[in-house]
Amino acid sequence: MTLIRRLGRAANVTLRRFGYQVIASAAKPEGRGGAPAPLPSGAADYLRPDHPRLLELERAYARFDSRATTPLLWKRQHVSGYDLRYFRGDNAYVWQIRDGASEINYVLTAYYVKTIDALGLLDKLQEDELLGVHAFTVDGRIVSRDLLDSIVEINFLQRQLAISSRQGFTVLDVGAGYGRLAHRMVSAFPGIGPYFCADAVAASTFLCDYYLGFRGVADRARAIPLDRLEETLAGRRIDLAINVHSFSECTRDAVEWWLELLRRHEVGHLFVVPNPIDHGGERLLTNEGVDMLPLIERYYRLLAKSPKYADPALQRHGIQHTWHYLFEAKC
Ligand SMILES: C[S@@+](CC[C@H](N)C(=O)[O-])C[C@H]1O[C@@H](n2cnc3c(N)ncnc32)[C@H](O)[C@@H]1O
């Protein structure tokens, strides 16, 4: 870890208590070699802040239950500060280099992932560097945090729930962002789906809807507008709810709102990945310090908890260390 990165992390321990943090300035959305970051055709026309579909979602979310939508972190400036066209870039969805992570951290992480990737996903899933993502070439393969995190998360779920052999395994991803894990999960296994992506931020639903369509997986993975979620889930079995770096960014009320929804729909398992903040993800805290564990334990019991990287050295030097938690519903 560079000295600057160490200093930034140390300062953040104190600053986060006051709602601030040090963030390295993110690079402009450009591809490797300084060329403009590649965009798929049609993306620039669709991914506009004044797109009618986005405005419609914003109006619907503004009318929705404020327990779910009142933001902790995701206020307007949190999403409007970046270019929608480059939503896979280094921004609030997936930090890639702004926490000081550089090529060496990606190299270490990629080699680590090779050692735990029992499913062979590094060979199966690809990174195409589109839409502003930061990518590095390691061992002849293009890798990004989108790809590496997803493979680590899927392998964790495989060890716990054997998801690769399940048929019609249904998922509800809460705070799904642009659909990073949805895209990777359904691309990895034909038996996964429907995979529903939910969010309380209109721009996230808008981007997710676009992204899953662009990736050609919308037949099995779909962004569900918040005001259509209840009717979508009604009468369905949901095997697994996923929450990666999103409960941490919610108010206590919103976490409770989502947990009540999971209980109402009798969701069998819950996978949670908290933000590392100043405890490395060893605790289930929101960014404002609310302990989510007792809230979750009203309805779920802990089945497994493990560090994202089994090697403590990787927990220090791998990209975005944290812990993985799996819960099962109490009867
Ligand atoms: C750091 S991003 C993580 C995105 C995604 N889970 C991933 O790992 O790629 C946090 C996500 O939480 C969502 N979010 C923020 N407030 C929320 C709330 N009250 N309820 C549900 N999701 C929320 C944001 O819209 C965003 O998609």
At 320, list the tokens: 């975005």
Residue 24: the pLDDT is 44
Q: What is the pLDDT of residues 139-196, one digit of tens each?
A: 999 999 999 999 999 999 999 999 999 999 999 999 999 999 999 999 999 999 999 9
Residue 18: the pLDDT is 45
Q: Which residue has the higher pLDDT, 13 or 248?
A: 248
103-329 has CATH 3.60.15.10 classification: no
| Residue 204 Cβ < 6 Å to ligand 1 | yes
Q: What is the pLDDT of residues 106-118, one digit of tens each?
A: 999 999 999 999 9
C-alpha to C-alpha distance for 33 and 43, rounded to whole angstroms: 22
Residue 71 above 50 pLDDT? yes
73 pLDDT band, cuts 50/70/90, is confident
Beta bridge partners of 270: 241, 327
C-alpha to C-alpha distance for 75 and 45, rounded to whole angstroms: 25
At 235, list the tokens: 């009468």
**Average confidence (pLDDT) over 221-246:** 98
**Average confidence (pLDDT) over 5-30:** 51
* Mean of per-residue pLDDT scores for the chain: 91
Q: Are 307 and 323 in contact (CB under 8 A)?
A: yes
Residue 241 above 70 pLDDT? yes
C-alpha to C-alpha distance for 136 and 129, rounded to whole angstroms: 9
Cβ neighbours, 10 Å, residue 80: 11
Of 277, 247, 248, 245, residue with least CA distance to 259? 247
Pairing outcome for strands 141-143 and 169-174: unpaired
Residue 126: the pLDDT is 96
What is the DSSP secondary structure assignment for residue 248, as one 8-state letter? G
What distance in angstroms lies between residue 179's CA and the mean position of ligand 1's atoms?
A: 10
Residue 52 above 90 pLDDT? yes
- Ligand 1: nearest atom to the Cα of 273: 8
| Residue 82 Cβ < 6 Å to ligand 1 | no
Cα–Cα distance list, 89 to 72, 75, 133, 242 (Å): 22, 19, 4, 22
Domain ranges of the chain: 103-329
Residue 25: the pLDDT is 41
